[in-house]
Structure 1
Amino acid sequence: MSGIYFHIPFCKQACYYCDFHFSTSFKKKGDLIAALLMELNLRKNELKNETIETIYFGGGTPSVLSIQELRSLIEAVYDHYPVSNSPEITLEANPDDMVISNALDSLKYQDYKDLGINRLSIGIQSFFEDDLKRMNRSHSAEDAKNCLSEATKYFDNISIDLIYGIPNMDVEKWNRNLDMAFDFGIKHISSYALTIEPKTALDHFIKKGKYPSLNDNLTLQHFNHLVERVNNEGFIHYEISNFGKPNYFSKHNTGYWQGKSYLGFGPSAHSFQGNQRTWNISNNAKYIQAIQNETLPKTIENLTMTDHFNEYIMTGLRTVWGVSLDKIENEFGKAYLNHLKTRSKKFIDRDLLIISTDYSERNSHNGILKTTPKGKFLVDGMASDLFMLP
């Protein structure tokens, strides 16, 4: 399995917490689409022997693209790559782009389906107006509800994003956010803690005392409540920030976590193939100019065995599948296995990690290293402590 990712670097306005690459100016949107089509052509010989199973439009805000722009990109993928008979095609969307105000708007959902898009990932973040304003989201609480009311008529496979750890959001209010998600019959939730990224507006506001500081204890309460609620609703906590009903996991993102190859197109987009990772320049104008000159504006990183080991530890511990100690021994060797066993012992002793002896999922004699419920919230810090240093 391989995947294709398109980074659509346009947003109507900047969310205070966001550090992704995007522009609020749409002047170069047409040139950017043309450049994406050219990049697809320039890279048509990559992944020649693999079938594309997933196509993902991320950003930015891909829902600002017209139906024709989306069609041109999807058709180009089919023109240049072997695509499976039933690929997962995901469109990230903001609620304000999906609100139905007239008959033409309602056709958009059917148009998406006709293009082959079969999964929507909608950036709700919160169903409450004060939270959305505090984050400088472009949609309203009413937009969020109206969007889901309409989207669920056309799509069964819908994921929504929700943010927890927002200052002044108590557990009861967080619980009401979850209630609304469940009431709409949503089958996949991606939920992230509000974090302070350097040089974002949120970082600036907190340093200037214009925004409340984040409360780690409140964030942990929200996370624990989230895990309890989704489990009770029949969701599987298959990745630290992702919860899905059976058969509704994100195939595209699962490919990332399981080390599958993927190609990323557009400014700032990353790609991964074998022992090489590349990423495009994070500048729209420079990206467009380079592509017009038939040059790929990318940086290349050749991955060592230690890089692969560390990435497997990071991604494996974040997922329900854990880290196979057999895989560590077979693919990396005894030295890496002994390192991992030694470094993980202190976390096992504190009931933060466990070596599972349930072999029903895979044939294993060494066991599978996983987080315990107590350790899930601390997984990133533990993973980095388990890394092998170069």
Structure 2
Amino acid sequence: MIAALCNEIQMRSPAFFSGEPLTTIYFGGGTPSLLTPEELETILTAVHQNNSTETVEEITLEANPDDITEENLTGWKKAGINRLSIGLQSFREQDLQWMNRAHSVEEGESAIRKAQKFGFTNLTVDLMYGLPDLSQTEWKEHIYKLTDLNVPHISAYCLTVEPKTTLHHLVGTNKIHVPDEDTQAEQFELLIQTLREKGYEHYEISNFCLPGQYAKHNSNYWKNRKYLGIGPSAHSYDGENRFWNPANNTRYIQSVQSGKHTPEKEHLSPENRFNELLLTGLRTIWGVDLQQLSDTLPLTDAFRTEMEHFIQAGDLQLSGNTIRLTQQGKLKADYIASALFV
């Protein structure tokens, strides 16, 4: 697998970026912290050899708390990793158990402290709300634990119950009770209010940071910039086309080894690109530039009428040529975006 990843980097990145300098590198989409530091270093060497990387500011590794050992931290630093994304999820043991997480609450907290001690001050931690039987008081305590630990970036996601999962079965048999939508919305509002009081900026629907601590890599997605995905199931985007690799590991490796690796490709129509600009832009504090939208596809009377409706309702605000969600609008971001879709 490591050889295939390095081969794909060599085959695709020079042509994809055409000499443009990279700004971020991200190891994610699975459990990359299971790789040894030496394996990560091998992959990064391939990236450096086949790209202009002098301007790279951020190299992120998604890491499970139980993989954050002193040995790994030393190796990650040596390899060039300068940012960790830690999948903590919850500060309640019962949640970690039904999620089948390998770490305990104590190990989660210890992982953050350990990473900071080794100089990884650029951290982001994942938390979930809308969890079974999670009270408002407990949720607020979870948020405070992260702010007390001086975590500069927090990603918070609402639990979704996917069909045909263990959680779906537990909910269906009344063994677990998930909060209703109103309670989830209250927890989201409590999250926003608590983090604002602690000096965090709510710069994307699910993401909060201390001043200037934006996730540079993820911001590229939200700002509609090109990106290259390497590995099984990885997706790429060049501004007009989307590409994706085989999901099956064996098929992926065989495809790369054959020397004829050609990802699946979809050309995005102006309508697709218009809708994606809306969906991603509205989620952020930067909002959506109406000029950029109209360059993709002329704005129709129906669009302007719908937009005006949301402005009058207090869900959107127009500033210059940019539309942004209001605090009220953030509670129904996906609905507003879909109503404005062409």
Q: TM-score range by the shorter chain?
A: over 0.9
What 5-or-longer segments of structure 2 have no aligned partner? none
In the alignment, the residues of structure 2 paired with residue 125 and residue 38 of structure 1 have an alpha-carbon distance, to the nearest angstrom, of 34
Q: CA deviation at 1:139?
A: 1.2
Map Cα deviations across residues 141-162 of structure 1 (whole Å, 9 max, x no partner): 1110110111111211000000
Q: Is 1:386 aligned to 2:340, yes or no?
A: yes
Match of 2:62 in 1: 92
Q: 1:54 to 1:315 in 2, by over 3 A?
A: same
Match of 1:21 in 2: none
| Aligned amino acid, residue 322 of structure 2 | I
* SS class of match (2:15): coil
* SS class of match (2:28): strand
* SS class of match (1:218): helix
In the alignment, the residues of structure 2 paired with residue 281 and residue 157 of structure 1 have an alpha-carbon distance, to the nearest angstrom, of 33
In the alignment, the residues of structure 2 paired with residue 328 and residue 337 of structure 1 have an alpha-carbon distance, to the nearest angstrom, of 11
* SS class of match (1:45): helix
In the alignment, the residues of structure 2 paired with residue 138 and residue 239 of structure 1 have an alpha-carbon distance, to the nearest angstrom, of 29
The counterpart of 2:107, out of the listed 143, 149, 160, is 143
| Aligned amino acid, residue 270 of structure 1 | H
| Aligned amino acid, residue 287 of structure 2 | G
Q: Is 1:34 aligned to 2:6, yes or no?
A: no
In the alignment, the residues of structure 2 paired with residue 129 and residue 177 of structure 1 have an alpha-carbon distance, to the nearest angstrom, of 12
Match of 2:269 in 1: 304
Work out whether residues 38 and 79 of structure 2, in 8 Å CA contact, stay in contact via their aligned partners in 1: no
Q: CA deviation at 1:285?
A: 1.8
Match of 2:52 in 1: 82
The counterpart of 1:323, out of the listed 288, 292, 303, is 288
Q: Is 1:371 aligned to 2:325, yes or no?
A: yes
* SS class of match (2:144): helix
Q: How does 1:10-21 map to 2 (within 5 A)?
A: none
Q: Is 1:196 aligned to 2:161, yes or no?
A: yes
Match of 1:13 in 2: none
Map Cα deviations across residues 51-89 of structure 1 (whole Å, 9 max, x no partner): 111000002111111011000000100001111344310
Match of 1:351 in 2: 314
More displaced 10-residue stretch of structure 1: 130-139 or 140-149: 130-139
Q: How does 1:114-125 map to 2 (within 5 A)?
A: 114-125=78-89
Match of 1:71 in 2: 41
In the alignment, the residues of structure 2 paired with residue 297 and residue 217 of structure 1 have an alpha-carbon distance, to the nearest angstrom, of 46
* SS class of match (1:163): strand
Q: 1:283 to 1:199 in 2, by over 3 A?
A: farther
| Aligned amino acid, residue 340 of structure 2 | L
Structure 1 ranges of 4+ moved more than 4 A: none
Q: 1:138 to 1:387 in 2, by over 3 A?
A: same
Q: Is 1:130 aligned to 2:99, yes or no?
A: no
Q: CA deviation at 1:192?
A: 0.4
The counterpart of 1:51, out of the listed 21, 24, 43, is 21
Q: 1:292 to 1:86 in 2, by over 3 A?
A: closer
* Aligned residue pairs, count: 340
Match of 1:156 in 2: 121
Q: CA deviation at 1:278?
A: 0.5
* SS class of match (1:327): helix
Map Cα deviations across residues 212-264 of structure 1 (whole Å, 9 max, x no partner): 24421111111000000111111111100001112210100000010111100
In the alignment, the residues of structure 2 paired with residue 328 and residue 86 of structure 1 have an alpha-carbon distance, to the nearest angstrom, of 29
Work out whether residues 277 and 303 of structure 1, in 8 Å CA contact, stay in contact via their aligned partners in 2: yes
| Aligned amino acid, residue 321 of structure 1 | W
In the alignment, the residues of structure 2 paired with residue 194 and residue 325 of structure 1 have an alpha-carbon distance, to the nearest angstrom, of 33
In the alignment, the residues of structure 2 paired with residue 234 and residue 116 of structure 1 have an alpha-carbon distance, to the nearest angstrom, of 29
Match of 2:75 in 1: 111
| Aligned amino acid, residue 60 of structure 2 | T
Work out whether residues 281 and 297 of structure 1, in 8 Å CA contact, stay in contact via their aligned partners in 2: no
Q: CA deviation at 1:211?
A: 3.0
Q: 1:263 to 1:320 in 2, by over 3 A?
A: same
What 5-or-longer segments of structure 1 have no aligned partner? 1-31, 99-104, 357-363
Work out whether residues 152 and 184 of structure 1, in 8 Å CA contact, stay in contact via their aligned partners in 2: no
* SS class of match (1:261): coil
TM-score by length of 2: 0.95
The counterpart of 2:191, out of the listed 226, 231, 251, is 226
Q: Is 1:267 aligned to 2:232, yes or no?
A: yes
In the alignment, the residues of structure 1 paired with residue 267 and residue 39 of structure 2 have an alpha-carbon distance, to the nearest angstrom, of 34
TM-score by length of 1: 0.84
The counterpart of 1:215, out of the listed 180, 195, 202, is 180
* SS class of match (2:16): coil
